[in-house]
Structure 1
């Protein structure tokens, strides 16, 4: 190819490359713009544009500041070092080669390298937008730290941001120093001649001044470090905060080191003037030695020689400060500790004075009955219920009762015709809320529903049952149509309708803060088609119209997190019915990790138990300050998000409402129906119960000895625990807290509460499982508009005397499993193989009644084959050393308390059982009798037992067939036959 033909070809290739590059840049830019534009539409639709724009402006501003703060000094440093280079310096051949290589790209490198470093610095600065906003909007707390006398607001709002600023500035100086050294060396400002290092005057001044400024920043950092001592783990790890050695050695030492750093910085300035390096180098060496002596050796010596021999005496005032700060930071100041000398004698009529509490004992376990809800209330394969249901309370016929609730959400994986069109436009939402009494069941052991079916029927007055926003909603749906258009979305299919046909609907939420962004124009359709990689959004003419809107980010937690990015959210949003609409309630927490002297706690550890998912992600895992400051609601139909200031005295919330004004409504705007369903949040309670394992002790001397540390017991009803394979040292095996309506000492009436128990704190397999404490919080916010009940959030801790032995949950479960009579019946219910069944233990509840502690555990049975689901068959109870196992709660309590417990429970159907058993003889009811607690299990060689077991298997098979045909009458008849067979087997086994 000739030169004349090659040149146009090169130009064409260059033009093509430039064109492709421009196209790629434009495409990338459009994708980025589309994402930002979609966010703007979403926030604008919800009415929270100010949150997005404040966040964007802050991030953008910090990025620019971070970029310029890094790039400009580095560029200036490199340019100065280059311009002030020695012109006639003799360089080595190697440096000459380096210069020859770099020279063609010198301008690009001198500008490009600082720009690249500046981009990383900008990203780093932008990531700290929240601490910067808190620095600008922080307020006072009204509590001072015990060492410096500063308001706690300095630690919550100012100190974290100041540390970040100083750290960033130090990084800039480090990069500038490296850049100055490299440039000076490359261009002869620094030369190494043998063992001699020669530095030009210009390089000396530049490097010395840069290092001096860096040392000044280190002095500032050391000054700030003295304050961080108040929320660092102290020497020896005894508690969080400054201990004796910290207050008397570490803190003064950091001040001394700060002064030393300033002196050495002055020496570097002197060197810049007089040109001698000896003084600053000697000063730097002395600074290092001084930091080792003052920063490490002196505190170590004070600790070992002075403090350690009498640690308790020296640390007592600091421990007292830590206890007080921790109690405040975790909302434990109002904790009432009540000595509780629990009775262990199950006497007749002992529960008569606790009739209201026993009437509300929840026998329906929300962690067990989800498959049962699905069996009776799912109706279609494209609906589903969550794995764990929720506990709420409703007033039915003038009486407030605990309820187990769940919403019937859409499950597109269950669709037989899962086309893109159906998934996008037809199957868009779930339908209805299902609620069952917590203290009742049907005759066949199923939950007793008071809100159910499709169309929804019941006592709650639901007027809008559509579930467009839920925990299992599809990623996105396109909904809406002009008025009068033929509905496309499936609402429900019900055979109860006159014609039994499909009922369609059109999404109609168009008010302020409701629904989703419009996709009625081509540009918006293109943006969302790219966002979700969906051709249906862009191309469908049957599904998209001028009134269409797109619903996405539909999980309640996701929606709240986006409009309130400063909140840490509870892991368990729960649905409730408010003014005829299904509404999700989400609890939001403001947290900090810098409250002085407060104990630090890992959220992932504190929130882990047998009912939670391990590995939850938090923006900040370790915290030492928590407030349930916000109650948020998400309308399940419209998606509207509303934030309410639940703790308007929280200084952290005050700061954020200053950042995002008019986004959080006052408590006074919570209406009475919503207030009646607000409950004390589980995650807040989990954190508090974890802190109280150690901080229930308020005397510094006793706290120091750590001879009364507690822990949460393992969950005996978890699958691994029931099988005897649980690792009791694993946080994930801990028993979760439970909601119950009960009356504690000091309360006039039973209230909706949340409770947990404690056992001794030795976290080994050999540790004792006796009960040491019982923590409960008043979880009922009342039903008055805009006003919390006075006792809401009141924490009460029943402390059991050390000289009494009251069985803990794991010990009680062991009593159940080792009792011969109960074991025999459980073995009969655990009939494996085809047509067999298995036992599913329900939650083991602990209830302070009768002057002691009553344990109640519902026992479920499910088929071992087919579409199995658990049904409540038996109830285990324990009080003191006695246990009982009967068909109903009422019968079990009567057996336990000598034939008449004095309780009156809704679960009081007819049936027979095995009576009560214990250390001594006991009297039973029905066909059962007492037992001394010794003996063996079932005798499988007995012909009568074998015939009874065969009849039991036939009954189980008949029951399974009946449920498969949805023949509840035949199923009930088979259940009775099964019960008869079990009773005959028990009688023959004796």
Structure 2
């Protein structure tokens, strides 16, 4: 092949085969190859030093690939080509006398025939590589160099300069080439830069400036976020929590960094010290180039890699688990032992998680050090993987120690696995089953012993210098793991357990039942057989007056739009989508109450009003609490408010109404100030300026009066106005993290929290002379997933129901122990947080009290009024009812069969499969002395069946009031379960809803209402154990389908046995079921006291901020309305004014109803409540006439 036509990269590959070997690679007496002394026949002095016109080296044919070296060999050859002038085609050639016969690349001028410059001979240059190109140069750069070399040998242009005319390559001096067309001579002293290469560029000033600013901004933002956290915790009084947590995390970080960095760094140093000075095998020689890359950077590499790996390991492995360390250091005993090993439960809850964490961390650290050691030993020749693999003595010693450590840690892991088996998950139940106890636990002990023996064998091999015994041990370990750890348990399960599963598993199922009931607080459930009757008789509910009086007709998940329309007052206020249920003492008796807080809603402001000054310094807080009786409604179906309006009026008495901290509060507000200016809008008023202003007077947030804090918070919230606004002065405070659950989560990071706190107006200090306060109550839970033999539950799934569920904050994915250990109270005015110990027996809360001393107050400090508003947490009850659906079965054999498992029914009023929500109401359970505020739910048959038959009724006593400070009612938390006979056919919620929907009396009326432009909404379906059976009650709401719509209570549905009652009021519906006189007392009487003032929702003044009239609609007329009597018998005389033709009367009535509905909607939009009331009367009259005509027509 013609060398001039060959690609330069190919020729470079061929040339590199015979290029002169470096003196270090050959003995001095061996004649170098690949070069021809000056004056030999092969040297013509024309730029082809090897004699070949194509520049191909003699000694190897141009097309003969024989003798080609490997990539690393060519790498070294190319390096010597650029760093050693001797033996290079264009460098000085040695003659027999050792003189150079040509000019090197670095000569100042070239002369033909190899004569010396200015009559002097060039001195022989040392046979030592120059410091030229770095050993880290990429392969692409060397191939470019080969391209240029070929150009010098063949007289053609390099590939990189095709078409860009340049000087001939032959006889080039080692100097920098001038730019094409510059006319400047080459610059001396730059000959080490090959053509086609560019000197590395330093970043320009702009890039450097931007980089410095970016780093500075990142550091400043991190510092601002960190220091503002310190300010926040100092202000709220929980600085100990922050510093304890940060201190523990810092210690763990340092420990992780030091241990990992020391382990990896030591492994690297030992591996490099054990390197071979002159590797002889081909594999090691091939890695020489990579060693040359590593050696110049060894110091950086040997420090940087361990520190980087240590940092990552500490941040990933240890720092996030600070709580496990603190718990283990402050462990408290449970006083209960596990049934297998006899250890206190505290070992599993407190110590086992820490042991698992440390063992996993150390194991991964040893593995990491081992991987690094193997890699470096391979790089430096200590390990060879050629045809005859071998390991040097030093490498063997190093790796032997690491393998021994790993074996010991593996043995510890096997041993620890014996205890972890007690909380493992199985198909039917959690915990160690028959196979686990009789096969897996012994197998783990055997494997642990084998691992220790293997570690000893590895250490013994240090003396024998042979891995024969350890390798045998490893093989035995693997075989044992397969036989003892896998095959043997499988055989036991298949041939011992499966044929006799019920009998063999019974003792372990009983362990699971007992542990599960204890871990979820279900050990003292009071079970009662309840043979519910289905027959009815007059006066049947006379003995259940306390329960029937408190039947709640207002559904807190339905009436939110009604509260919004009737009590919003201004467009910048709003209520949450779901109300809360509490009880208050009104007139000497406890009444179930729907409670809502009027919070600030900045989205209600016009776009022009949403300036920074308005949204951050003027509109800062909500105002007031709105309450309504749960068991009553006004005559037109609207809630019977007994506290409401602005300013607040009603029976609550004097309280602080300003809501600076709530569930819908803005992200931050700046309040207060030293200048005494009243910059904040307090509430709208009829005064000349249309509003009353105020200024925050509490201590609710960090100070932003000084320039430094302004700067920090301007950075934190990315808002420059904080720094320059005149509204921010010496006495200003910044309020943020204002959601009650968020505040509690920050000060108590060890709690799982209910994300749906409820409000209460309480006398927090038991001093009647001071105003009451609005507080938020947040339930806090201590949880664990380590309780031995207890069943694991998904808390997130358990608390999700038809209302949308509540999201638990910081809930574990799985848990098998839960306690409502803390009640947190957040002041709605100043955001102060106080934690009360609610469960005085929980070892977990005791441990956390020692970790953060002084942060949790004893229950004895809780005021009597605050105690009266505590309640049993709904989320805990949801978890317990899910567990009890299976674990009401306490017989192991029956539990194994699963034939009596229950499930929570789906909500029949909602679409889709979503469990029915439990409900708060005051009721008296069978056998209970008196009614109490309770939380209840029902069960239906479990399994894969659509049969909706009631099987159980669960209720928990939620009453806490005693009238004494710090003393809780003795019955609080008592769980009662009514178990219906298995042969019972009492309808479940699904069947009951179907009966309501198909009732011949109720269905036509509700269908007719829905056809007249209104929407029928069915409220919560309540179940009550009264009258010796089970009573179902469901409120029915109607709302307009127009733009302005809100639900009003119009009808009530009742079922007992097979009898359905449908009427305007609960009393009437009950009487229809129980023969005209149920004997019940209901709460639908007219409310006395200040209810009239609370229901006074006259039109508020114009919004002073320019928002116009409030969007809240006034209270509809409360005048009595005609009711629809669906029980009018068929065939009766036509209504007065009728034509006598039933069909004509029906058509006329329906037309009148449609007209009345249209007029009603128009009056509602116009705010004309007189016309609205009149239209509603006409609508009811038309409906009555339609039903009467329909009865005559079908009679």
Give TM class, smaller chain.
over 0.9
* CA spacing shift, 1:986–1:551, aligned 2, 3 Å: same
Q: Does 1:107 align with 2:299?
A: yes
**What's the CA shift string for 1:342-379, capped at 9, x where partnerless?**
01112111111011110100000000000000000001
Secondary structure at the counterpart of residue 448 of structure 1: strand
Matched residues in 1 for 2:546 and 2:1177: separation?
Answer: 31
Aligned equivalent of 1:549, options 733, 737, 740 = 733
Gaps of 5+ in 1: 721-725, 917-923, 931-939
Aligned to 1:404: 594
Q: How big is the shift at 1:963?
A: 2.7
Matched residues in 2 for 1:213 and 1:953: separation?
Answer: 87
Aligned to 1:796: 976
Secondary structure at the counterpart of residue 655 of structure 2: coil
Aligned to 2:136: none
Q: Does 1:241 align with 2:431?
A: yes
Contact in 2 for aligned 1:584/1:635 (Cα 8 Å) = yes
Contact in 2 for aligned 1:888/1:908 (Cα 8 Å) = no
Q: How big is the shift at 1:616?
A: 5.9
Aligned to 1:163: 356
Matched residues in 1 for 2:754 and 2:828: separation?
Answer: 18
Aligned to 1:230: 422
Q: How big is the shift at 1:16?
A: 7.3
Q: Does 1:982 align with 2:1183?
A: yes
Aligned to 1:895: 1072
Aligned equivalent of 1:684, options 850, 865, 876 = 876
Contact in 1 for aligned 2:1018/2:1037 (Cα 8 Å) = yes
Aligned equivalent of 1:348, options 538, 542, 548 = 538
Q: How big is the shift at 1:114?
A: 1.8
**What's the CA shift string for 1:487-508, capped at 9, x where partnerless?**
11111103xx454721111001
Which protein, 1 or 2, shows the higher relative CO under an 8 Å CA cutoff with sep ≥ 6? 1
**What's the CA shift string for 1:823-866, capped at 9, x where partnerless?**
1011111125xxx1010110000011101110000000000111
Two-structure CA RMSD over aligned residues (Å): 2.3
Secondary structure at the counterpart of residue 82 of structure 1: helix
Structural mapping, 1:284-683, within 5 Å:
284-416=474-606, 417-482=609-674, 485-494=676-685, 497=686, 499=688, 501-510=690-699, 515-541=700-726, 543-579=727-763, 580-613=772-805, 618-683=810-875
TM-score (norm 1): 0.93
Q: Does 1:746 align with 2:939?
A: no
* CA spacing shift, 1:500–1:885, aligned 2, 3 Å: farther
Matched residues in 1 for 2:454 and 2:604: separation?
Answer: 72
Contact in 2 for aligned 1:963/1:971 (Cα 8 Å) = yes
Matched residues in 1 for 2:800 and 2:906: separation?
Answer: 12
Matched residues in 2 for 1:735 and 1:369: separation?
Answer: 18
Contact in 2 for aligned 1:821/1:914 (Cα 8 Å) = no
Contact in 1 for aligned 2:1125/2:1184 (Cα 8 Å) = no
Contact in 1 for aligned 2:522/2:880 (Cα 8 Å) = yes
Contact in 2 for aligned 1:604/1:617 (Cα 8 Å) = no
Contact in 1 for aligned 2:784/2:817 (Cα 8 Å) = yes
Q: How big is the shift at 1:822?
A: 1.2
Q: Does 1:787 align with 2:787?
A: no
**What's the CA shift string for 1:28-67, capped at 9, x where partnerless?**
2221111110000001100000000001001111111111
Matched residues in 2 for 1:929 and 1:853: separation?
Answer: 31
Gaps of 5+ in 2: 1-178, 191-198, 764-771, 1087-1119, 1132-1140
Aligned equivalent of 2:403, options 211, 220, 230 = 211
Aligned equivalent of 1:189, options 379, 382, 398 = 382
* CA spacing shift, 1:500–1:525, aligned 2, 3 Å: closer
Secondary structure at the counterpart of residue 477 of structure 1: strand
Q: How big is the shift at 1:10?
A: 9.8
Aligned to 1:60: 250
Contact in 2 for aligned 1:822/1:914 (Cα 8 Å) = no
Structural mapping, 1:717-796, within 5 Å:
717-718=909-910, 720=911, 726=912, 728=913, 733-762=914-943, 764=944, 766-783=945-962, 784-796=964-976
**What's the CA shift string for 1:544-587, capped at 9, x where partnerless?**
01000000000000000000001001132000101211100000
Structural mapping, 1:38-53, within 5 Å:
38-53=228-243
The farther-off stretch of 128-137 and 557-566 is 128-137
**What's the CA shift string for 1:628-672, capped at 9, x where partnerless?**
000000011110000000002100101111110000000000101
Matched residues in 2 for 1:266 and 1:406: separation?
Answer: 70
Matched residues in 1 for 2:687 and 2:611: separation?
Answer: 29
Contact in 1 for aligned 2:1142/2:1189 (Cα 8 Å) = no
Q: Does 1:815 align with 2:995?
A: yes
Matched residues in 2 for 1:972 and 1:669: separation?
Answer: 52
Structural mapping, 1:134-145, within 5 Å:
134-145=327-338
Q: How big is the shift at 1:890?
A: 0.8
Q: How big is the shift at 1:272?
A: 2.6
Matched residues in 2 for 1:109 and 1:747: separation?
Answer: 76
Aligned equivalent of 2:1026, options 843, 849, 855 = 849
Aligned to 2:465: 275
Q: How big is the shift at 1:613?
A: 4.1
Secondary structure at the counterpart of residue 245 of structure 2: helix
Q: How big is the shift at 1:962?
A: 2.8
Aligned equivalent of 1:948, options 1131, 1149, 1153 = 1149
Q: How big is the shift at 1:397?
A: 0.8
**What's the CA shift string for 1:736-793, capped at 9, x where partnerless?**
000010000121111000001000112x4x4210000000000111143101110100
* CA spacing shift, 1:594–1:420, aligned 2, 3 Å: same
Contact in 2 for aligned 1:885/1:913 (Cα 8 Å) = no
Matched residues in 1 for 2:881 and 2:512: separation?
Answer: 17
CA radius of gyration, larger in: 2
Matched residues in 1 for 2:879 and 2:1052: separation?
Answer: 31
Aligned to 2:275: 85
Contact in 2 for aligned 1:477/1:550 (Cα 8 Å) = yes
Matched residues in 1 for 2:1181 and 2:479: separation?
Answer: 86
Aligned to 1:921: none
Contact in 1 for aligned 2:534/2:1056 (Cα 8 Å) = yes
Secondary structure at the counterpart of residue 537 of structure 2: coil
Matched residues in 2 for 1:942 and 1:640: separation?
Answer: 68
* CA spacing shift, 1:225–1:391, aligned 2, 3 Å: same
Matched residues in 2 for 1:4 and 1:429: separation?
Answer: 78
Aligned equivalent of 2:1055, options 878, 900, 904 = 878
Q: How big is the shift at 1:943?
A: 3.5
Matched residues in 2 for 1:115 and 1:907: separation?
Answer: 74
Secondary structure at the counterpart of residue 1011 of structure 2: coil
The farther-off stretch of 667-676 and 783-792 is 783-792
Contact in 1 for aligned 2:753/2:809 (Cα 8 Å) = no
Secondary structure at the counterpart of residue 731 of structure 2: coil
Contact in 1 for aligned 2:586/2:651 (Cα 8 Å) = yes
Q: How big is the shift at 1:964?
A: 2.7
Matched residues in 2 for 1:254 and 1:446: separation?
Answer: 68
Q: How big is the shift at 1:448?
A: 0.4
Secondary structure at the counterpart of residue 775 of structure 1: strand
Contact in 1 for aligned 2:838/2:859 (Cα 8 Å) = yes
Q: How big is the shift at 1:13?
A: 5.5
Secondary structure at the counterpart of residue 230 of structure 1: helix
* CA spacing shift, 1:118–1:619, aligned 2, 3 Å: farther
Matched residues in 2 for 1:673 and 1:173: separation?
Answer: 59
Aligned equivalent of 2:1083, options 893, 901, 906 = 906
